[in-house]
Structure 1
């Protein structure tokens, strides 16, 4: 069995309004050195499969089919055997 940890964020060219608000709030709270904040989504999916390469292809397929908006979002993932 494998655990996919999937991180979805806005593409660099897309304004992240929640990230801007969080950054502004952190500055008002006087946290120094905050250069940028990005807000995103996080998913954990448990999968079974013959091997890690096969499971990785399945993860990419399900993310592309359901978890992201292709116009505005991008993703990365970590895959670990559990």
Structure 2
């Protein structure tokens, strides 16, 4: 069954307080070498049938209207096939 993954991330110019909190916690937990953290969201949409350009256009509309806030977030789509 095909799956479309939508990754949503804050735009680079938008502050990311959750990412900063994770970045601050890492050294306290003994992890070093991380210089920045950005936290986002991942949506996995399992689809019936073939993933066509029309289906991807519908998923883009979903991402623009429901899954992300286009004012402050960017998103990327990718298709994954289950093995």
* TM-score, scaled relative to structure 2: 0.84
Structure 1: gaps of 5 or more residues: none
Runs of 4 or more off by more than 3 Å in structure 1?
A: 48-51
Q: In structure 1, how many angstroms separate the alpha carbons of the residues matched to 2:49 and 2:74?
A: 25
1:53 equivalenced with 2:46 (yes/no): no
The RMSD of aligned alpha carbons is: 1.7
- TM-score relative to the length of structure 1: 0.85
- 1:60 Cα offset (Å): 0.6
Shift of 1:48: 3.4
Match runs of 1:18-29 below 5 Å = 18-29=18-29
